[in-house]
Structure 1
Amino acid sequence: GAGMSVPPVRRRAVGRFRTAIGALVVALAAGAAVTLPAAEAQAAGAKGGKVVYLTFDDGPSPAYTSKVLATLGRYGVRATFFEIGQNVSAHPAVTAQVAKQGHSVQNHSWSHPDLSRLSAAALNAQVADTDKVIRAQTGRTPSCLRPPYGAVNGTVRSKAAALGKQVVLWSVDPADWSRPGAAAIRSRVLNNVRPGSVILLHDGGGDRSQTVAALPGIISTLKARGYGFATLCG
């Protein structure tokens, strides 16, 4: 996710990366940098309405993922979960449940490092090891990679492509990881969402009770505004 806890010695470096990707996030908001797989775009278009994409990072979490799944199930909404390999390894049944309920499970690295600072071999291992544990629980190999912190450059993109991965970032970030309160999370999403928005939320990496609390209001309001929901990356 964008905001998993960062050791103090790395906060300055990560801050620079967040500044550097500001232009990318703006581009995402304009729809310039999120290229949906053709099948997904067609499926969304076939619904004849406005579509948004809910995404959840840093899980699976035994404490919060099941609560997110319960809310999504109650509203009949499907989402995309960008999962951390070591969390999948620790809680495999949770990932299996995410997939069983029809959600998309994708790659968010093994241990949430800054991929742009890794060697080719280390980056390959981060992605391949995560693919392996996700595939064991879902029967499918992730087709998308979300780099931790959104730290992406040309090297990360080219390495991801060589591994058969499409890099997927986001266009709406309510900074739920900072725990600003459920009302703030809800309003930040609803005030910034547009047709085609990719919304960044977190179901792991810390206390996600505020995200869980904000989710019903986000979904119900978007539905009332005429939005449909779709998954990314198949």
Structure 2
Amino acid sequence: MRRSRVVAAVLASLAIGFGTVGSAQAGVGLPPVVAQVPTQEKVVFITIDDGWYHDPAVAQTLIDKRVPASLFLLPGATSYDTGYFTRLTGEGRATVENHTVNHPDLTTLDAVGKDAEVCGAGERLQETFGRTPKLLRPPYGAVNDEVRLAAKACGIKALVTWTHDFTTWGDAPPPTPQLEAGDVVLLHFTPTLGADLERALGAAKAAGLRPAALMPHLRAAGLV
């Protein structure tokens, strides 16, 4: 029943929003899509996606260096080694956020599919970690107003994409960018995460920036 009410709310919002709001105002009242956080503080934001590869050395680095990190996790990637992530949330400064259940392009799904992916992931992560995620990373960064409507119906306050992807996807890491205040750094739980994280932390230090918790700065910027 709860599911059907969520879907009905999304469809009602679509009907109202697209029936009465002009194109210049489309998206008003929906959760924002954030690729960079407006801030005067010298901070960057470390975000790590998926969760399939559980390197103990990475966890130790995050804990020892007290790196605030937003972990956008797939429930299935946490289920076979939940302790890896509960240690990070318990001993470190990590928070668990929503990355859907199956990592689809949400823009290709109907309202029922969006609900199953976003609300479904939120429910499962809440059961595991005792907290309902308030941030969503849409897989592939694919987002439109229908995705934002579905996210809002699932209790999401902001959709977070990224400024720079530090993930090594091929034989060599990508070029290291010059980081700026408010940048959102994307990493993934892959076998190269340890080296990718060190590159990101080094780039932040070179730019005179420090990693910071994401949600408080979203609030300070008036985005959530």
Alignment CA distance shift 1:117-1:217 (3 Å)? closer
8 Å CA contact 1:60, 1:95 repeated in 2? no
- Go from structure 1 to structure 2 and tell me whether the alpha carbon gap of 1:172 and 1:130 turns closer, same or farther (over 3 Å shift): same
Post-superposition Cα deviations, 1:2-46, rounded to whole Å, max 9, x if no partner, equal xxxxxxxxxxxxxxxxxxxxxxxxxxxxxx952889xxx8xx76x
Using the alignment, how far apart are the partners of 1:171 and 1:217 within structure 2?
15
Q: Does 2:213 correspond to 1:222? A: no
Aligned residues: 183
User: Could you tell me whether the CA contact under 8 Å between 1:86 and 1:130 is conserved in 2?
Assistant: no
1:115/1:69 Cα in 2 relative to 1: closer, same or farther (>3 Å)?
Answer: same
Is 1:109 paired with 2:100?
A: yes
Q: In the alignment, which of 169, 178, 190 is matched to residue 178 of structure 1? A: 169
Q: C-alpha distance in 2, partners of 1:126/1:69?
A: 27
Task: Check the 8 A contact 2:180/2:207 in 1, yes or no.
Answer: no
One-letter identity of the residue aligned with 2:78: V
Structure 1's unaligned 5+ residue stretches are 1-31
Amino acid at match of 2:204: L
Correspondent of 1:72 among 52, 62, 74: 62
> Out of 180, 183, 201, which is 2:187 matched to?
201
Pick the aligned partner of 1:162 from 150, 153, 161. Answer: 153
Is 1:192 aligned with 2:178?
yes
2:221 matches 1:231: no
| Structure 2 unmatched ranges of 5 or more | 1-31, 217-224
- Contact kept, 8 Å, 1:108 with 1:145, in 2: the verdict is yes
The one-letter amino acid of 1:209's match is: P
Larger Rg: 2
Cα distance in structure 2, aligned partners of 1:217 and 1:74: 17
Larger % of strand: which? Answer: 2
Give the secondary structure class of the aligned counterpart of 2:45.
strand
CA RMSD of aligned residues (A): 2.5
What's the CA shift string for 1:119-141, capped at 9, x where partnerless?
Answer: 21121111222112221232211
In structure 2, the residue matched to 1:53 is 45
Q: What amino acid sits opposite 1:92 in the alignment?
A: T
Residue aligned with 2:59, SS: helix
Residues of 2 paired with 1:231 and 1:172: CA distance?
A: 17
Alignment correspondent of 1:34: 34
Give me the identity figure in percent: 32
| Aligned position for 2:135 | 144
Q: Distance in 1 between matches of 2:107 and 2:133?
A: 20
**Going by fraction, where is helix more abundant, 1 or 2?**
1
When normalised by structure 1's length, the TM-score is 0.69
Give the superposition deviation at 1:95: 2.5
